[in-house]
Amino acid sequence: MAEQIISREFKNRWINFYGKNVTERILRELEQSDPRIISPNALYTTRRQLQESLESQGFRFAPETPFNCLILEFEPFNIVATSEYLSGLFTIQALTSLIPPKCLNPSSESVVADLAASPGIKTCLLAEVMENTGTLFAIEKAKKRIPALKSNIARMGIYNTFILNCDARSFPGLNVKVDHIMLDAPCTGTGLKLKKNKRLERRILNDVTRQSLIQREILDEAWKQLKIDGTIVYSTCSLEPEEGEVQINNFLARHEKQVQVLPININIGNPGNLTRWTKVYDSQISNTRRIFPDQGMDGFFIALMKKVRE
């Protein structure tokens, strides 16, 4: 059972923050497997064209298509062996991967930075939204993760993207302010299903402290590089408040009147809430979004923020 391999510390803090009933649902759902989600590459195909092509080979999909995706129900052979996959007509990803690029929604002429880019799925989705134009910087600290990033960008036919192997906490010397930033931040991953996060059973509270500090440092550096009226989307696949609502609440306190938290226009999840954490917090937190694993996706937190003049 998920309860037996998640530390009692984490279970108890979830109960304190989310309540016993929600925690029990989370623990049950963390054991479940997700279906494979197929996202058509809008630069080169449509959902209908892709579905018809794959169904002609025996693949079957659920009738519902959230976010213009396909939910795979049956595959006669591994779908990554199809010519459609190899030629970059689709990606396989979690539904939550679709949310940050769609919320950021950069225009085709934007200058955009993806600050934790590998393996590149969200980077490619950003490039699709940008119609493969503008300028997209894909920043990745870990050198060993660069090959996967390069491979996905090449396979998907993306050519507006520059890959930078550097630490986003010391923003590279681009000598340019950016219009939009996507930060799907490094995190504890406690919202991921167990099959995706083998480290969950070994997580300790110090991991939350360490990751939240890294997130804070990246956020503050990113904010310096963002243009006035620019936007940043911050997300984590963590259920820990320090990596979600608390992180953004502290960010708002540091930057005061410079930040406007924009509403997240998706029909899933719950408004961010800190009432179980503290009696005093910024009212803009309600514009963030908290998704639980029992809501059809991985556990996820997302905030969309605009930089305004003081």
Q: List pLDDT tens digits, range 189-214.
A: 999 887 666 666 677 889 999 999 99
CA atoms within 13 A on the CB side of 181: 30
- The second-level CATH assignment, the architecture, of 37-93 is 2-Layer Sandwich (3.30)
Q: Give the pLDDT band (50/70/90) at residue 31.
A: confident
pLDDT in the model for residue 203: 76
**Quick one: average pLDDT of 85-94?**
96
In whole angstroms, give the CA distance from residue 186 to residue 167.
12
Residue 237 annotated in active site:
yes
Q: Is the separation of the CB atoms in 51 and 44 below 8 Å?
A: no
* Closest-CA residue to 27 (of 66, 1, 65): 1
Q: Is the separation of the CB atoms in 178 and 226 below 8 Å?
A: yes
* pLDDT at 3 > cutoff 70: no
**Residues 111, 115, 118, 119, CA torsion sign:** negative
pLDDT in the model for residue 138: 97
* Region(s) of the chain under CATH 3.40.50.150: 95-307
Predicted model pTM: 0.94
The SS3 of residue 158 is coil
pLDDT in the model for residue 1: 45
- Tell me phi and psi for residue 161, to 5 degrees: -115, 135
pLDDT in the model for residue 196: 63
Lowest mean pLDDT among 2-16, 54-68, 140-154, 241-255: 2-16
Mean pLDDT for the chain overall: 92
* Closest-CA residue to 222 (of 258, 183, 164, 257): 183
10 versus 50: the higher-pLDDT residue is: 50
Which DSSP category does 34 fall into? P
- The second-level CATH assignment, the architecture, of 95-307 is 3-Layer(aba) Sandwich (3.40)
* pLDDT at 4 > cutoff 70: no
* Region(s) of the chain under CATH 3.30.70.1170: 37-93
Q: Which of 69, 103, 124, 237 is catalytic?
A: 237
